[in-house]
Chains A and B, each alone.
Chain A
């Protein structure tokens, strides 16, 4: 994508923002309908195929979920959340787990490096591995626990929403391979419209708690989810109120400007003091050892 498509960039502020001219381009989104997902893992496999990722074989830990978690080599994971209902009956709640492409991304806010995390005009949040230094700030900042550091090259990785495919007018590979139509892709506007229709349909069918997961704490997300029970996103492994955390906000919005002001003020006072008060010299009562002036007569024998 061209540099003009980058509308938000890590390590920059509103004082010197990234290119804004294409800000009004329509935003894209992926819509995951948990009520249609059957956990076939086609999305997970096609993600690994398209992006050439092969996570190391893990160990069986008592779950169909495999691998256990997202990693630098697993950007899309089918989560098998095991839920017991009121009748003590076990059921799976599948979550298509990948980057949520937040409109106000905490990872980008926390990033320590200029341009290493960018947001494109179409809303996609992308990492530039060449610039990534591996500080791990994005890993700790993400409320969805998505970015992961690679153990070999020490860089952070996550789902790119197949930005290389989008660039040539294709949908993300996970959407392409979805077997049940649980994954859809289009403009955010269209996805919101489709989600609205589907949720109405679910309400009519008796799923009265069904709703759309598009958390506003992060400004809405580029991956929205239709859940059976919108009041309990935790049962899908999703945070109830994701947002950029308080320490990161304090760090960026308070400590940085105050710190800059404090450092500059100290230097300014020091310089002013030096110029006005001047040197603080000692009048030696004994001639100094390093005194190179001519010796007086009495010194000569």
Chain B
């Protein structure tokens, strides 16, 4: 009988939050993409009609941004800058081409993920604030037209940036195999940690889950 020691990477609450954000985020981005590129209005058909897409988009957007902000608050302690981060950044080419002996060891999150974290912090806050400002008919009437026009512009810019980072997030998660399983079931193997986030193993709070194989 083998014992496989798995390491806890994402708690149940965070995993539920993450997949909830994925689900409502999909609705938000499909409907929003239809407003940004009117030729792609059919993407918003996920909401039923274009009028329903307009109604659903801000609600789905809030349902995406608020839990996302909660995750970001809960993961802040993993995302502080550390001394090896700059070295890792300079070795980005080796990271992408898997020259593993040349990659400086990093902890729970690598600097690329920390950049993604910061982008999500900024874009989720800006998207929420500007989104509320342009939300017809509830909040937009309280703002001047010239203010709303800038809000619309900022909203679009942040949405595009967020989408690009979501694509990068998806790309990296599916490339580094074991990551998606980690976010789905919560745990990763010791070897996975050693390969991708070696300093994570030095964490005194590290939680190992013992699984029995029959």
Show the binding face of A for B, using Cβ within 8 Å.
Answer: 10-12, 16, 110-114, 131, 133-137, 139-142, 145, 149, 151, 154, 245, 247-248, 250-251, 255-256, 258-260, 262-263, 266-267, 270, 273-274, 277, 279-289, 291, 299
Q: Which residue of B lies closest to A249 (CB)?
A: B153
- B106 nearest CB across to chain A (Å): 15
How far, in Å, is A135 (CB) from chain B's closest CB? Answer: 6
Known: A270-B167, A282-B191. A255 touches B137 (CB 8 A): no
Q: How far apart are the CA atoms of A82 and B189 in the complex, in Å?
A: 78
Q: How many A-B residue pairs have CB under 8 A?
A: 147
User: Complex Cα distance A291/B96, Å?
Assistant: 28
- Decide: A134 and B153 in contact? CB cutoff 8 A: no
Mark each residue of chain B from 112 to 123: 1 if its CB lies under 8 Å from any CB of chain A, else 0: 000000000000
CA distance A277 to B35 in the complex (A): 36
Question: In the complex, which residue of chain A has the Cβ closest to the Cβ of B42?
Answer: A114
* Proximity bits, B94-130, A CB within 8 Å = 1, else 0: 0011100000000000000000000000000000000
Q: Which residues of B contact A (CB under 8 A)?
A: 1-6, 35-39, 41, 50-51, 53-54, 96-98, 134, 136-137, 140, 145-146, 148-150, 152-153, 156-157, 160, 163-164, 167-168, 170-171, 174-178, 189-192, 194-196, 211, 213
Interfacial chain A residues near B137, Cβ < 8 Å? 134, 136, 149, 151, 154
Nearest CB of chain B from residue A257's CB, rounded to whole Å: 11
Q: Which of A136, A259, A282 sits near B192, CB closer than 8 Å?
A: A282
Select B36's contact among A142, A259, A281, beta carbons within 8 Å.
Answer: A259
B38 touching A255 by the CB < 8 A rule?
no
Q: List 21 A-B contacts (CB under 8 A).
A: A111-B38, A112-B36, A113-B41, A136-B134, A136-B136, A154-B51, A245-B146, A245-B149, A248-B149, A250-B153, A260-B37, A262-B160, A263-B163, A266-B171, A273-B96, A274-B174, A277-B97, A277-B98, A280-B98, A282-B177, A289-B4
Q: Is the CB of A263 within 8 A of B38?
A: no
Chain A residues, Cβ within 8 Å of B191: 282-286
Given A135-B54, A251-B156, A283-B191, the answer on whether A11 and B38 have CB atoms closer than 8 Å is yes
Q: Which residue of B lies closest to A112 (CB)?
A: B35
When chains A and B are docked, how far (Å) is the Cα of A263 from the Cα of B4?
Answer: 40
Q: Tell me how far the C-beta of B2 lies from the nearest C-beta in chain A, rounded to whole angstroms.
A: 5
Contacts of B152 in A (CB 8 A): 110, 137, 140, 247-248, 251
Nearest CB on A from B31, distance (A)? 10
Considering the chains assembled together, what is the distance between the CA atoms of A270 and B53 in angstroms? 29
Residue of A nearest to B213 (CB): A289
Task: Please give me the 6 A-B residue pairs with the lowest Cβ-Cβ distance, nearest first.
Answer: A11-B38, A270-B171, A259-B160, A136-B136, A289-B4, A247-B153
Chain A residues with Cβ below 8 Å from B54 are 133-135
B contact residues around A16 at 8 Å (CB): 39
Among A112, A131, A274: residue with most chain B CB under 10 A: A112
Q: How far is the CA of A267 from the CA of B140 in the complex (A)?
A: 34
For residue B66, give the distance in angstroms from its CB to the closest CB of chain A.
22
Q: Which residues of B sit under 8 angstroms from A245, Cβ to Cβ? A: 146, 149
Known: A247-B150, A284-B189. A273 touches B171 (CB 8 A): yes
Whether the pair B51, A134 counts as a contact (CB closer than 8 A) is yes
CA distance A118 to B77 in the complex (A): 52
Q: State the Cβ distance, B150 to closest chain A Cβ, in Å.
A: 5
> Closest residue to B4 on the A side, CB-wise?
A289
Chain A hits for B37, CB < 8 A: 256, 260
Residue from A136, A285, A287 whose CB has the most chain B CB atoms within 10 Å: A136
Contact A114 B41 (CB under 8 A): yes
Q: Which of A251, A267, A287 neighbours the largest number of chain B CB atoms within 10 Å of its CB?
A: A251
- CA gap between A188 and B150 in the complex, in Å: 34
B33 to chain A, nearest CB (A): 9
Report whether A266 and B189 are in contact in the complex, using a CB–CB cutoff of 8 Å: no
Inter-chain CA distance A282–B211, complex, in Å, is: 19
Query: A282, B175: Cβ atoms under 8 Å?
Result: no
Q: What is the CB-to-nearest-CB distance from A137 to chain B, in angstroms, rounded to a whole number?
A: 7
Are B51 and A133 in contact, CB atoms less than 8 angstroms apart?
yes
Question: Do B50 and A251 touch (CB < 8 A)?
Answer: no
